[in-house]
């Protein structure tokens, strides 16, 4: 399956790509289905009410991740890439008060939907396909079931039905005969680069150009970076307590202010680069935790690593250009697609190694690419970054993407830069292939206890006393 750079990097809202953006998109898909003729509608039957049940990780950490809010917004027709974060509370309050969801293009009276009773967090029954399962039902005025669909949020904002998930798992190809470089593994990617003489970003660009024009591709890449960069800027300006009840204070602005003061005083600080990396990443993930506008990279929980690494590159390299940013994003997306195809980017499926670990691998690859690394050095950079996140659990305190998620992005960015630097000092030859690291991540995630996979029933989530 061809995975576009715009599938990997999607503009949306926080706090979670799998628990917020995915359920909102699933609600959108169900609404589209209700209006369509793609289901056996009984003669004269009309949908009068809607019901939703959330399962697995969505049930355990959905409240902290805003899953219920996302479903409500999705059933009103709001979409992750266009919803106004400043209007979300008012929209949700209207649905809760009226007991109706009234999406545009549907019957004017909308559908009966009372979140307190029609939105169920089912912690007892997991759905078989994936840890992030949800069921949507449409009923007539007498309460008879007319339509039911199961969706899975599989990470990074991707949503599939149960039948689509089975088809994906039965597929053996990440690419398509309709793209010139259909690499499904890192080994294939390197072989194609060697045979063609092209950089990884150039192969990825050639694949994208089978779907869109070059001006559209460049404009889309620039739009992704603009959203990432704006998220950093917002995060560096806002102070206060983040929502959710943990009373965690935003720190990015105060750290940023101190860093600017250090620069003005011209003090020598060997940790300065790491400090800038960290503050950029923390700014993004504080925005994400507050429900702001972010870009999946490849998930919301790991959204800070790649923007921080790009901003670091722009900060410390005077010759950096807009084309470098495009190269970075294309290279990162190529590596991210391989990881997603062969393992997972979902914390609920493989733990945080699949989120921050994947983001660090992608960022390391992108940085190595813009630093003139060879395809072999780029693959090595990604492998180093991923290898040293293996086994990382996903154990958010209170189900909120705050502790340890915000600082974890900062350290992921630091590891990404370190991995790229190490790889660029070699010739690309190394002992552990990226494909082996990806397969190890998949196996480790499969063996990992469910309590360490975004359920908040183990790790820090149970050992930190909530104040």
pLDDT in tens, 52-79: 999 999 999 999 999 999 999 999 999 9
Is residue 6 one of the residues assigned to a domain? no
Domain boundary among 126, 152, 169: 169
What is the model's pLDDT at position 2? Answer: 82
What phi and psi values does residue 317 have, to the nearest 5 degrees?
-130, 105
Q: Kindly give, in sequence order, each residue whose CB lies less than 8 Å from that of residue 152, ignoring residues fewer than 6 positions away.
A: 127, 129, 130, 132, 133, 134, 159, 160, 161, 162, 165
Q: What is the pLDDT of residues 1-14, one digit of tens each?
A: 589 999 999 999 99
Residues 321 and 176 in one domain: yes
315 occurs within a structural domain: yes
Crossing angle between the packed helical segments 200-208 and 356-370, to the nearest 10 degrees: 110
Render pLDDT for 327-341 as a digit per residue (tens, 0 to 9): 999 999 999 999 999
243 shares a domain with 139: no
Instruction: Say whether both 295 and 185 belong to one domain.
Output: yes
Give the pLDDT of residue 332: 98
- Domain annotation covers residue 2: no
Same structural domain for residues 165 and 176? no
Confidence at residue 1, expressed as pLDDT on a 0 to 100 scale: 59
Mean pLDDT of 412-428: 98
161, 177: one domain? no
Distance between CA atoms of residues 319 and 335, nearest Å = 25
Number of neighbouring beta carbons within 10 Å of residue 39: 12
Mean of pLDDT values over 108-113:
97
Tell whether 350 and 220 lie within a shared domain: yes
Cα 283 from Cα 233, distance rounded (Å): 8
Same domain, 431 and 289: yes
Domain span at 102: 17-169
Residue 27: is its pLDDT beyond 50? yes
| Averaged pLDDT of the chain | 95
If pLDDT is split at 50, 70 and 90, which confidence band does 177 have? low
Residues 162 and 179 in one domain: no
Is the confidence at residue 93, as pLDDT, over 80? yes
Whether 162 and 189 map to the same domain: the answer is: no
Residue 161 has pLDDT above 60, yes or no: yes
Is there a single domain that holds both residue 144 and residue 176? Answer: no
What pLDDT score was predicted for residue 465? 65
Name the domain count of the chain.
2
- pLDDT tens digits along 366-375: 999 999 999 9
Indicate if 115 and 186 belong to the same structural domain. no
Q: What is the pLDDT of residue 139?
A: 98
pTM: 0.92
Task: Give a yes or no: residue 377 inside a domain.
Answer: yes
Q: Which of 309, 290, 449 is nearest to 368 (CA)?
A: 309
Query: Percentage of residues in the chain with pLDDT exceeding 70?
Result: 96
Claim to verify: residue 221 and residue 145 sit in the same structural domain: no
Of 122, 142, 169, which marks where a domain is finished?
A: 169
Whether residue 44 has pLDDT greater than 80: yes
Is the pLDDT confidence value at 432 over 80?
Answer: yes
CB proximity list for 363: less than 8 A, separation 6 or greater = 305, 306, 308, 309, 332, 385, 412, 413, 416, 417, 420
- Who has greater pLDDT, 193 or 268? 193
pLDDT at 300 over 90: yes
Instruction: State the pLDDT at residue 168.
Output: 84
For residue range 226-274, list pLDDT tens digits in order. Answer: 999 999 999 999 999 999 999 999 999 999 999 998 765 545 566 788 9
- The SS3 assignment for 348 reads helix
Domain with residue 128: its CATH number is: 3.30.1330.90
Please report which confidence band the pLDDT of residue 454 belongs to, taking 50, 70 and 90 as the band edges.
very high
What pLDDT shows up at residue 131? 94
Would 46 be classed as within a structural domain?
Answer: yes
What pLDDT, in 10s, does the model give residues 304-330? 999 999 999 999 999 999 999 999 999
Cβ atoms of 181 and 366 within 8 Å: the answer is no
Rounded to the nearest 10 degrees, the angle between the axes of helix 272-289 and helix 252-265 is 160
> Distance (Å, rounded) from C-alpha 245 to C-alpha 68?
17
Domain final residue pick, 116, 143, 169: 169
In a domain, 5, yes or no: no
The answer to the question of residue 8 being in a domain is no
The predicted pLDDT at position 169 comes to 82
- The CATH number of whichever domain residue 377 belongs to comes to 1.10.4100
Residue 366 placed within a domain? yes
Residue written as tokens 């370190």? Answer: 418
């Amino acid at each position: 399956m061809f995975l576009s750079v715009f599938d990997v990097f999607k503009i949306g809202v926080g706090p979670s790509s799998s628990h917020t953006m995915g359920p909102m998109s699933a609600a959108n898909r169900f609404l589209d289905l209700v209006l369509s003729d793609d289901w056996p509608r009984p003669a004269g039957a009309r949908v009068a009410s809607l019901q939703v049940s959330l399962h697995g990780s969505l049930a355990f950490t959905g409240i902290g991740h805003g899953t219920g809010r996302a479903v409500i917004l999705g059933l009103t027709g709001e979409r992750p890439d266009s919803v106004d974060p400043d209007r979300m509370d008012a929209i949700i309050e209207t649905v809760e008060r009226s007991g109706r969801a009234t999406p545009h293009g549907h019957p004017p009276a909308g559908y009966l939907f009372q979140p307190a009773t029609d939105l169920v967090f089912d912690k007892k029954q997991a759905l078989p396909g994936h840890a992030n399962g949800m069921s949507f039902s449409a009923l007539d005025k007498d309460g008879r079931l007319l339509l039911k669909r199961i969706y899975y949020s599989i990470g990074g904002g991707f949503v599939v039905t149960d039948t689509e998930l089975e088809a994906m798992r039965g597929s053996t190809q990440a690419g398509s005969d309709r793209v010139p470089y259909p690499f499904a593994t890192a080994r294939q990617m390197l072989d194609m680069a060697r045979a063609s003489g092209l950089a990884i970003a150039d192969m990825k660009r050639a694949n994208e150009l089978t779907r869109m024009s070059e001006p559209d591709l460049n404009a889309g890449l620039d739009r992704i970076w603009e959203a990432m960069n704006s998220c950093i800027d917002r995060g560096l300006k806002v102070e206060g307590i983040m929502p959710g009840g943990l009373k965690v204070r935003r720190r990015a602005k105060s750290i940023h202010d101190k860093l600017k003061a250090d620069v003005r005083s011209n003090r020598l600080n060997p940790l300065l680069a790491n400090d800038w990396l960290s503050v950029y990443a923390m700014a993004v993930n504080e925005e994400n935790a507050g429900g702001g506008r972010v870009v999946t990279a490849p998930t919301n929980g790991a959204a800070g690593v790649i923007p921080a690494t790009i901003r670091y590159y722009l900060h410390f390299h005077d010759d950096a250009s807009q084309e470098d940013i495009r190269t970075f994003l294309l290279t990162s997306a190529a590596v991210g697609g391989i990881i997603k195809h062969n393992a997972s980017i979902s914390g609920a499926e493989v733990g945080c190694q699949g989120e921050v670990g994947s983001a660090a691998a992608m960022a390391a690859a992108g940085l190595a690419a813009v630093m003139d690394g060879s395809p072999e050095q780029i693959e090595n950079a990604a492998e180093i970054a991923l290898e040293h996140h293996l086994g990382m659990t996903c154990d958010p305190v209170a189900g909120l993407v705050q502790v340890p998620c915000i600082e974890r992005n900062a350290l992921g960015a630091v590891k990404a830069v370190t991995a790229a630097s190490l790889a660029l000092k070699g010739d690309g030859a190394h002992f552990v292939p990226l494909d082996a690291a990806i397969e190890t991540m998949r196996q480790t995630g499969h063996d990992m206890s469910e309590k360490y996979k975004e359920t908040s029933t183990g790790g820090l989530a149970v050992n930190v006393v909530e104040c």
